[in-house]
Amino acid sequence: MGYTNIAFAIFMNTPPVPLTRREAIRRAALLGAMTAFGSTFSVARGAGAPGAFSLPPLGYAFDALEPYIDARTMEIHHDKHHAAYVANLNKAVAEAPSLAGKSVEALLRDLDAVPESVRNAVRNNGGGHANHTLFWPQLKKNNGRGPAGELAAAIDRKFGGFAQFQRQLTDAATRQFGSGWAWLTLDRSNELAVESTPNQDTPLSKGRAPLLGLDVWEHAYYLKYQNRRPEYIEAFHRVIDWDVVAERFKQAGG
């Protein structure tokens, strides 16, 4: 048996990565984000140079959300778009020594404190980094399962039911003109809200905690859905990991 055949045999005899391991990887990635998000919603810094931000791992396979979100879209969205936000944020921060050591949330919460020469770059690319760092771990095929426990009760109280909440999020995402996000947020008095932001603006800049973010930039859906944003939004509801959203709700004090 030649080397190639041995390698092939080994490959064939290697069972697929068990779900538990994949789940463990996903949970680890999630936990990293969660721990960092904690009470201050901080996005973890990378292990690179001091002051440098880095791209967090996706935490699951590109095709994990098929057929709702296609693998190619996930790959480009994570590896290219999110990576570009990180690279451009690092460039901007490097040009403003006063920003060294600050978390991306600290930057976004107080954009007035960011030197004007890099403020727009930090707003757009820092927002892009923070928003996408929230986006990846909250996605998992949910088979129609919605929230449970305290979050479910809070959604019922605020919106009059889960279906009503879904409708509001869909409306906010559909009506957002051009690029932007729709959100479920929690404010400082523990009030839930559905809102939207243009571009990569984040509710953090308005003092609110983002619990769930729906990316409606065309790069999030165009390959599969082209101009059919409503179909993508419909599909998005099928890939919300409500356990993650509930954990954020708890961490935010809800």
Near Mn ion in 215-254, by CB under 5 A:
215, 217, 220
Nearer to Mn ion, 139 or 220 (CB): 220
**Tally of helices (H runs) and strands (E runs) in the chain:** 12, 3
Least distance between Mn ion and beta carbon 132 (Å) = 6
Least distance between Mn ion and beta carbon 85 (Å) = 8
Residue 197's Cβ-count burial label (10 Å; 0-12, 13-18, 19+) is buried
Least distance between Mn ion and beta carbon 27 (Å) = 23
Mark 177-216 with x for binding to Mn ion (rule: CB under 5 A) and - for no binding: --------------------------------------x-
Nearer to Mn ion, 90 or 131 (CB): 131
Supply the DSSP string of 110-121, one letter for each residue: TGGGS-HHHHHH
Largest CA distance in the chain: 69
Nearer to Mn ion, 71 or 152 (CB): 71
How many chain residues are in contact with Mn ion, going by CB under 5 A?
3
Near Mn ion in 35-74, by CB under 5 A:
none
Axis crossing angle, helix 229-236 with helix 162-175, rounded to the nearest 10? 150
Nearer to Mn ion, 54 or 199 (CB): 199
Q: What are phi and psi of 214, to 5 degrees?
A: -110, 110
State the Cα–Cα distance between residues 170 and 121, nearest whole angstrom: 29
Task: Give the binding site for Mn ion (CB under 5 A).
Answer: 215, 217, 220
